[in-house]
Amino acid sequence: MGSLECPKGVATTVAKNRFKSKTYLKFLVAAGVLAVVGGGAGTFATFNAETKNAGNTFATGTLLLSDSVHNGTACYSDSGSANAGSCSAIINTSNLYTNHTSSEFLTISNTGSLDSSDLKLFGSTCVNSTVGTFSAGSTLPHTGDVCAQLKLSLEQNATAGGTATSCLVGSEVGSGDHSCDPTQGTSLGAFLTAHGTATNGYDFAGDSIAAGASRYYTVHLYLPDENNTFQGRAATFDLTWHIDQ
């Protein structure tokens, strides 16, 4: 029998199909390699960028009040309980007499890092007491109300103990002299009643103290001419300086 041969056209078609099959297989192999390299192994990363704001800190400043009487050692608002330092008395005198003035100057400073928004002065209720005795040692029987009779003046100065720039509480001497006239002061009792807490404290016409700045004041107390019921009597009260941020 003779051999069978595919017709020429059939052989050509088979050859072409084999070529296409080999090419397709090669394509599949290449695609598989790309799939492994691109996604499976994670060898390559996408582009990225970043910034860092490092060391963020929130820190508070300080509001610190200092008080120095007659250029003495300053006391500070953080040196006592309830954020109020126990400072020296502005006026602490004895053996005074009627129709007499006792005066003293002081410096108030904001030694913190923050500016204050205000400055206030307020005082405790004035308390009368008997402190004098006769030579025989018996207590004087007098009951004069010194607190009600004392007159208070508050003067602002250019420097500690320096030239007066204004009389804040009381009345100026006048004729270009801005010093207070102690005899024309305000009733101490009335001042303490009106300004007994930080809320209703005397506000210095809205004055404030910047960080590192100071204010200078002089306090005058005047006792008018009174009768013998004022012998051996004393008036005691506190004055508190206050600032807010």
Range with the lowest mean pLDDT among 62-71, 189-198, 222-231? Answer: 222-231
Token pair, residue 107, equals: 């410096």
pLDDT, tens digit, 9 for 90 and up, residues 115-140: 999 999 999 999 998 886 666 666 66
Cα–Cα distance measured from residue 57 to residue 124, given in angstroms and rounded to the nearest whole number: 41
Across 136-162, average pLDDT: 87
Percent of the chain with pLDDT over 90: 53
Closest CA to 217 of 187, 182, 179: 179
Alpha-carbon span 140 to 20, nearest angstrom: 133
- What's the pLDDT tens digit per position in 41-83? 556 678 999 999 999 988 988 889 999 999 888 888 886 544 5
Q: Is 137 left (phi over 0), alpha (psi -120 to 50) or beta?
A: left
Query: Which 3-state string (H, E, C) describes 124-164?
Result: CCCEEEECCECCCCCECCCCCCHHHHCEEEEEEECCCCCCE
Query: What is the distance between the alpha carbons of residues 168 and 166, in angstroms, rounded to a whole number?
Result: 6
- pTM, full prediction: 0.76
pLDDT at 39 over 60: no
Asked if residue 104 has pLDDT above 80, the reply is yes
